[in-house]
Amino acid sequence: MNVLNITDQLPLVDKTPLDPHFLALNAQAAAAAFIAAGTAANTVRSYRSALAYWSAWLHLRYGQNLGDAPLPATVAVQFVLDHLARPLADGGWAHLLPPWIDAALVAARVKAKLGPLAYNTVNHRLSVIGKWHRINEWDSPTEASALKTLLRDARKAQTRQGVAVRKKTAVVLEPLQALLATCTDGARGARDRALLLLAWSGGGRRRSEVVGLQVGDVRKLDDDTWLYTLGVTKTDTGGVRREKPLRGPAAQALAAWLEVAPTDSGPLFRRLYKGGKVGTSGLSTDQVARIVQRRAKVAGLVGDWAAHSLRSGFVTEAGRQGVPLGEVMAMTEHRSVATVMGYFQSGSLLTSRATTLLTSTGISPIDSDESVNSDSDPE
């Protein structure tokens, strides 16, 4: 299929009215398929946002409603062309989304700002629409070879133009220590220290997993070891409860937090109010991200920090310290080796002999200007 011939199955429309209330209901109905399939709640929230965007874009671009029928591959191709910027010969960038549709999407609050979307955002929304089709037992438009070729070429083009795929900065050991050093502010510091160490040392837990933990999910094994229990997660929706260890500083930090905020039930990590008063309601996933970002700012760390920085940092540091990949995945519960390997390899390469080949030859660096200029004329 020629990716430029994209109007042969669904005609484009000039303009169509946008009913935000209907679109919200349309997206909600689409997300119900994921709920019925047992998808983790936090993932459903992410998918609902993506489906709301698909619902609005499809209605504006084609005058059709999401869920009326399976989408043809040509629509997925159009989605990419509309949202991914491509470099032009004059050094500029272009994408095919009509300005009036762009403005309508922003006005409907399904799009943050005018302009193209990041590659990762487009890729995520394609992944969501593909999964949604499979749940509905429809052929997925994202499996078309033309779409895969287009995405591959688009990524290459952006890379050649210096547009890097954005990744959060990994919290390896040194930045983790810097974050923890800021946790000296009473009850808030005790909570944040316990949260950071559980999320990191406990296997790089996702923020949804951290906020989902209840006081009853943790138990003390000995003075140096606690166990915490995971239930339903993003990659394990069967509900089988699995225990993970917390040892050393992580165990001690958890014990210290429970001394500051003793309780028999409820969320493990709770909100704090003025004067360090501990509330009864649990943290949200956004608040976990803000804790990481706030601590990084106080510590003076440069980087793009987020809750995911703890997960990627755990895997990167494990590779750095030579922990076998199987043991790492047993802690993180990654299902895909490909997903975890990028972080793991970047860490393991830091201690690889392949990075010190010059040093092993005994060749010393040039230390003085004299040796560099020994054959040059005097000034």
**Confidence at residue 291, expressed as pLDDT on a 0 to 100 scale:** 96
Q: Is residue 63 part of a domain?
A: yes
Are the C-beta atoms of residues 118 and 164 closer than 8 Å to each other? no
Q: What is the pLDDT of residues 240-261, one digit of tens each?
A: 678 999 999 999 999 999 999 9
| Number of neighbouring beta carbons within 10 Å of residue 275 | 7
Q: Is residue 292 part of a domain?
A: yes
One domain for residues 195 and 241: yes
Are the C-beta atoms of residues 172 and 296 closer than 8 Å to each other? no
One domain for residues 64 and 182: no
One domain for residues 296 and 189: yes
**Confidence at residue 7, expressed as pLDDT on a 0 to 100 scale:** 46
**Confidence at residue 43, expressed as pLDDT on a 0 to 100 scale:** 77
One domain for residues 109 and 153: yes
One DSSP character per residue, 44-87 reads HHHHHHHHHHHHHHHHHHHS--TTSSPPPHHHHHHHHHHHS-EE
One domain for residues 122 and 86: yes
Q: Is residue 281 part of a domain?
A: yes
**Confidence at residue 360, expressed as pLDDT on a 0 to 100 scale:** 60
Instruction: Please give the Cα distance from 250 to 260 (Å, whole number).
Output: 16
Side-chain-facing half-sphere of 339: CA atoms under 13 Å: 10
Q: Is residue 379 part of a domain?
A: no
Q: Which of 288, 312, 291 is nearest to 182 (CA)?
A: 291
Q: Crossing angle, helix 145-160 and helix 119-135, to 10 degrees?
A: 160
**Where among 160, 191, 215 does a domain terminate?**
160
Q: Is residue 375 part of a domain?
A: no
Domain count of the fold of the chain: 2
Give the pair of three-digit tokens for residue 116.
Answer: 């193209």
Instruction: Please give the Cα distance from 82 to 90 (Å, whole number).
Output: 20
Instruction: Please give the Cα distance from 33 to 35 (Å, whole number).
Output: 5
One domain for residues 74 and 208: no
Are the C-beta atoms of residues 216 and 198 closer than 8 Å to each other? no
**Confidence at residue 372, expressed as pLDDT on a 0 to 100 scale:** 45
> From its phi and psi, is residue 276 left (phi > 0), alpha (psi between -120 and 50) or beta?
left
One domain for residues 155 and 189: no
**Confidence at residue 58, expressed as pLDDT on a 0 to 100 scale:** 92
Q: Which of 173, 219, 158, 214 is nearest to 318 (CA)?
A: 173
Residue range of the domain that includes 337 = 173-353
**Confidence at residue 352, expressed as pLDDT on a 0 to 100 scale:** 72
Q: Give 267's strand partners.
A: 214
Q: Is residue 253 part of a domain?
A: yes
One DSSP character per residue, 12-56 reads --S-----HHHHHHHHHHHHHHHHHTT--HHHHHHHHHHHHHHHH
Instruction: Please give the Cα distance from 249 to 299 (Å, whole number).
Output: 19
**Confidence at residue 361, expressed as pLDDT on a 0 to 100 scale:** 63
Q: Is residue 366 part of a domain?
A: no
Which H/E stretch holds residue 220? strand 218-222
**Confidence at residue 174, expressed as pLDDT on a 0 to 100 scale:** 95
**Confidence at residue 232, expressed as pLDDT on a 0 to 100 scale:** 55
Q: Which of 39, 33, 42 is nearest to 237 (CA)?
A: 39
One DSSP character per residue, 157-201 reads HHHHTT-PPP-PPP--HHHHHHHHHT--SHHHHHHHHHHHHHHHH
One domain for residues 153 and 33: yes
**Confidence at residue 95, expressed as pLDDT on a 0 to 100 scale:** 83
Q: Is residue 133 part of a domain?
A: yes
Give the pLDDT of the chain (379 residues) as one tens digit per residue. 444 454 455 566 666 666 666 666 777 777 887 777 777 776 788 888 899 999 999 999 998 888 888 999 999 999 999 998 877 777 777 788 999 999 999 998 899 999 999 888 999 999 999 999 998 889 999 999 999 998 888 888 777 765 555 678 899 999 999 999 999 999 999 999 999 999 999 999 999 899 999 999 999 999 899 999 987 555 555 556 789 999 999 999 999 999 999 999 999 999 999 888 999 999 998 899 999 999 999 999 999 899 999 999 999 999 889 899 999 999 998 888 877 887 777 777 777 777 777 766 666 555 545 444 544 444 4
Are the C-beta atoms of residues 231 and 241 closer than 8 Å to each other? yes
One domain for residues 208 and 150: no
One domain for residues 198 and 304: yes
**Confidence at residue 86, expressed as pLDDT on a 0 to 100 scale:** 79
Q: What is the pLDDT of residues 199-210, one digit of tens each?
A: 999 999 999 899
Are the C-beta atoms of residues 99 and 112 closer than 8 Å to each other? no
Which CB contacts under 8 angstroms, 24+ apart, belong to 345-348? 345/319, 346/170, 346/316, 346/319, 347/172, 347/315, 347/316, 347/317, 347/318, 347/319, 347/320, 347/321, 348/319, 348/320, 348/322
One domain for residues 200 and 244: yes
One domain for residues 185 and 246: yes
Helix (H, G, I), strand (E, B), or coil: what is residue 146?
helix
Q: Kindly report the CATH number assigned to the domain that includes residue 179.
A: 1.10.443.10
